[in-house]
Amino acid sequence: MGRLEFKERLEQLIGRVEAWSYADTEAGAGQPTELARALKSLASIAPTPALATGLRQAQDALDDGLSAEVVAAALYRVRAELEAEGPQESLPPSPGRRSPNRGRSPNRGRSP
């Protein structure tokens, strides 16, 4: 799984936790169970051990019955850490002005 796909799944999970925090459901309802499953799945494919640890902290908060805001805060920290690491998959450099593939214009330096 690439970093971009991981980030997309993390954003979806954050959205679900935020929606849960505004819903009128009890902690024992099905939502926390589904979120715990999603957290575990995402932690298992995290690109770095530090990100997996952050996701496990969010899962621990959920398992301990803490509020959705606490779980969301843990996920925000994971997102911030992911963004701080920066992109790992870089694009190839674009050809610059002095690229060997460019060559000179055939009309350069000629008067009409």
Q: pLDDT tens, 6-62?
A: 999 999 999 999 998 887 555 555 688 899 999 999 999 999 999 999 999 999 999
Give the 3-state DSSP-derived string for 35-97, with helices as H, strands as E and coil as C.
Answer: HHHHHHHHHHCCCCHHHHHHHHHHHHHHHCCCCHHHHHHHHHHHHHHHHHHCCCCCCCCCCCC
Say if residue 78's pLDDT is above 60: yes
Say if residue 110's pLDDT is above 80: no
Are 1 and 45 contacting, i.e. CB atoms less than 8 angstroms apart? yes
Tell me the pTM.
Answer: 0.71
